[in-house]
Amino acid sequence: MFDSGVERAVRDLANTELSRCDAAGLAVLVTMSGRVRSWLDAVDVAIAQRAGQLAASGVAPCPSDVVADHGRRTARDAGAVARRAGACDLLPDVHAALAAGDLSAGHVDAIARTAANLDDTARTHLAALQSELIAKASTSTVQEFSRDMTRLERILSRDDGLSKQARNRRHRHVRRWVDRTTGMCHTHLQLDAETDARVAAPLDAAIAAATTRQQDPNLTFDQLQADTLVELITRPDTAPAPAGAETRRVPEVIVLIDLDTLRHGLHDHGIAETADGNPLPADTIRRMCCDADIIPAVLNAHGATIDVGRERRVATRHQRRALRAMHTTCAHPDCTVRFDNCQIHHVVPWEHGGPSDLANLLPLCTTHHHHVHEGGWTLTLNPDRTIELRRPDHTTHHTGTTITRAPTGLTTTTHHQHAAPRARAPAA
């Protein structure tokens, strides 16, 4: 099963003198190493598949034990290999694409996560889409493809993700422990998407207020977040607000949903999620709307905000809502910093006449904001909200969209032909 292209890549990697490579040469090497890595991951999958056959006959341990014991892998890594093997059993063409280097183990992991959350009927529909999934994965980053698979999972689940939401809510917990090596105390809070949105809103608002008044230059943002969370938890209800703090309105919990999904349920190109991009069932959003002032965000077919309902607030709040409706994270293509931890960047600088219009604004995290302002990187925003990002040497780093809420585009005709009809809940 040793592919000739992989053999050439291994030979070229072994014979290349790295000290003589320029940036273009390094990019070629990374491409070759990625292909070899994908092939090796495919070999691991084949081993796990065979181990599963032997385990079923009672003559070998389970696949994850085989990989962990003989591959010097952690239990977590071995478990990931076993889950990939299960996904490739269901979608054999995915295994072939992995061996050919057309997609990575991360893409297969996204498929495996989706398959694990579906029933047998929905998994059959997923298998029928394997050619389209491979085509999509081959042109997408792992992060982009994972978002697409999350949306596809909700469509194939036939209940708009209600069962997953209920399952996640049952699994909410707090776990606390002490690291005996460092002495640091850890608190891990696991929440479903709806509850997390309710927690994140006041926490983000408090962090934003603390950021404006903190004066310690040595305080990192991580430390500031920790201090703010502790203050929120431990401050008595009767305690006065810190000196100089602004009086703030109750933080908004913003969810995004297209009108058709709100009225009739999730469809192929529907959006129903929190501001951070976590999926929510349409029925859950309808319930939340019963107790909320609805701020509509109308999105076009590409996920771009066309209009956002206004309150009697300054334009900055309106613009942030519009940007949040398009971007779950920093607009840098390789960054996953949450929108609420970003600053709003004027692509054409304010001091150079750049307007505070939506067409001139993008969310950037602190690091990438510095790259653009002080680091020599240049950023151009086009009318369709695609960007051109160039390095300090003027070479192109990225050209493409920055919108992270664009619909999946994956066809689900098979599902719609066989899905059982569901009751239509009235819109809130």
Q: What is the mean pLDDT of the chain?
A: 81
Q: Is 378 left (phi over 0), alpha (psi -120 to 50) or beta?
A: beta
* Rounded-to-integer distance, Cα 268 and Cα 258, Å: 12
Mean pLDDT, range 45-65, rounded to an integer? 89
Which residue bears the tokens 């602004």? Answer: 246
Predicted confidence at residue 415, as pLDDT, reads: 34
Residue 322 predicted with pLDDT over 90 = no
DSSP per-residue string spanning 59-108: SS--HHHHHHHHHT--HHHHHHHHHHHHHHHH-HHHHHHHHTTSS-HHHH
Q: Which of 173-187, 318-332, 400-414 has the highest mean pLDDT?
A: 173-187
Predicted confidence at residue 314, as pLDDT, reads: 33
- Span 405-415, pLDDT tens digits: 755 555 443 33
Predicted confidence at residue 233, as pLDDT, reads: 87
Predicted confidence at residue 63, as pLDDT, reads: 87
The answer to whether 145 and 264 are in contact (CB under 8 A) is no
Which band of pLDDT confidence, cut at 50, 70 and 90, is reported for residue 419? very low
The answer to whether 253 and 321 are in contact (CB under 8 A) is no
Residue 263 predicted with pLDDT over 80 = no
Which of 85-89, 135-139, 420-424 has the least mean pLDDT? 420-424
Residue 23 predicted with pLDDT over 60 = yes
Which band of pLDDT confidence, cut at 50, 70 and 90, is reported for residue 425? very low
Mean pLDDT, range 148-174, rounded to an integer? 85
* Rounded-to-integer distance, Cα 164 and Cα 266, Å: 14
Q: Which of 169-178, 236-245, 249-258 has the highest mean pLDDT?
A: 169-178
Six token digits for residue 364: 């950037």
Mean pLDDT, range 355-368, rounded to an integer? 84
Predicted confidence at residue 422, as pLDDT, reads: 33
- Span 327-360, pLDDT tens digits: 888 999 888 888 888 888 888 876 566 776 788 8
Which residue bears the tokens 């920055």? Answer: 402
Specify the higher pLDDT residue, 243 or 17: 17
Q: Which of 61-75, 120-134, 245-259, 363-377 has the highest mean pLDDT?
A: 120-134
Specify the higher pLDDT residue, 177 or 252: 177
* Rounded-to-integer distance, Cα 358 and Cα 229, Å: 32
Predicted confidence at residue 239, as pLDDT, reads: 54
Specify the higher pLDDT residue, 253 or 424: 253
* Rounded-to-integer distance, Cα 168 and Cα 153, Å: 15
CA atoms within 13 A on the CB side of 134: 18
Count CB atoms within 10 A of the CB of residue 304.
19
Question: Which residues touch 416 (CB under 8 Å, ≥6 apart)?
Answer: none
E strands within 309-393? Answer: 343-346, 361-364, 378-381, 386-390
Which band of pLDDT confidence, cut at 50, 70 and 90, is reported for residue 87? very high
- Span 302-313, pLDDT tens digits: 666 655 554 333
Specify the higher pLDDT residue, 282 or 2: 282
Which band of pLDDT confidence, cut at 50, 70 and 90, is reported for residue 238? low
Which of 81-90, 128-137, 232-241 has the least mean pLDDT? 232-241
Residue 174 predicted with pLDDT over 50 = yes
Domain locations in the chain as residue ranges: 4-157, 160-328, 329-403
